[in-house]
């Protein structure tokens, strides 16, 4: 198993890197790494390094860098804006969104959202994003934004080249009819289990969103997110 560990931006410029306390604890106590073991370090901003563990303790793990390289950012920024579903479904979405190359994840509260905000749950989300990035060797760590009401997102939509909002309305286009050409910044809006309200869809469309259909079937919210992001990843990444 190849171990990938996140370090702070700027740390990979050093020849000897001391990993953050939480990561050091995980490596020493959970993975039980040993001096001499090889490891991959990355800073979440495209900088990567091969290193060899030089010292291991419960509070500090140090690695000596042997090779460095950089990975360019995605050519197209893909952002997921989603009403938070039930915990197990949302955790699946977070994992798959990272794997599919999103740049930003914006969890939102809509009229039909049943999620109850809790700081510990949101802290767990950040750890899940990091774990997914480490496991899948994602070199550009997505930004997980703070939970906010959908109304706060409407002004942001005008900054995108293409905004797609999942919709059950009869006028929504299938993905194959969407013009993806020339888009450099794309957002996908996914509603809650009870869907967006007509007013939320109307306001999104007024801000530039284009209703998109996921076919004849009514998909669960986590399936819709993965389905939509997979199409965008195919088109752009």
Handedness of CA 21, 27, 29, 32 (dihedral sign): negative
CATH architecture, domain 4-70: Beta Barrel (2.40)
CATH architecture, domain 77-236: 3-Layer(aba) Sandwich (3.40)
C-alpha angle with apex 119: 159 to 45, nearest 5 degrees? 50
Distance of CA 90 to the CA centre of its chain: 12
Tens digit of each residue's pLDDT (9 = 90 or more) over 160-179: 999 999 998 878 999 999 99
Residue ranges of the chain assigned to CATH 3.40.1280.10: 77-236
Q: How many C-beta neighbours within 10 Å does residue 3 have?
A: 15
pTM above 0.85, yes or no: yes
Residue ranges of the chain assigned to CATH 2.40.240.20: 4-70
Question: 172 near 123, Cβ under 8 Å?
Answer: no
Tens digit of each residue's pLDDT (9 = 90 or more) over 87-117: 999 999 999 999 999 999 999 999 999 888 7
């Amino acid at each position: 198993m190849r171990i990938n560990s996140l370090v702070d931006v700027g740390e990979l410029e050093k020849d000897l890197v001391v990993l953050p306390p939480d990561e050091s604890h995980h490596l020493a106590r959970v993975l039980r790494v040993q001096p001499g073991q090889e490891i991959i370090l990355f800073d979440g901003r495209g900088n990567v390094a091969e290193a060899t563990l030089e010292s291991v303790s419960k509070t500090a793990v140090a690695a000596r860098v042997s090779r460095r390289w950089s990975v360019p950012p995605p050519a197209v920024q893909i952002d997921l804006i989603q009403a938070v579903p039930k915990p197990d479904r949302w955790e699946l979405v977070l994992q798959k969104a990272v794997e599919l190359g999103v740049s930003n994840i914006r969890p939102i509260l809509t009229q039909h959202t049943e999620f109850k905000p809790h700081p510990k749950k949101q802290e767990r989300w950040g750890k899940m994003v990091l774990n997914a990035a480490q496991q899948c060797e994602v070199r550009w760590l997505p930004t997980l934004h703070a939970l906010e009401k959908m109304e706060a997102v409407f002004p942001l939509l005008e900054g995108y080249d293409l905004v797609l909002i999942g919709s059950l309305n009869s006028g929504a286009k299938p993905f194959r009819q969407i013009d993806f050409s020339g888009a450099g910044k794309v957002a996908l809006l996914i509603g809650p289990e009870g869907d967006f309200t007509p007013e939320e869809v109307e306001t999104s469309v007024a801000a530039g969103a284009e209703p998109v259909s996921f076919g004849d079937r009514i998909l669960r919210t986590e399936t819709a997110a993965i389905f939509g992001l997979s199409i965008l990843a195919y088109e752009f990444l």
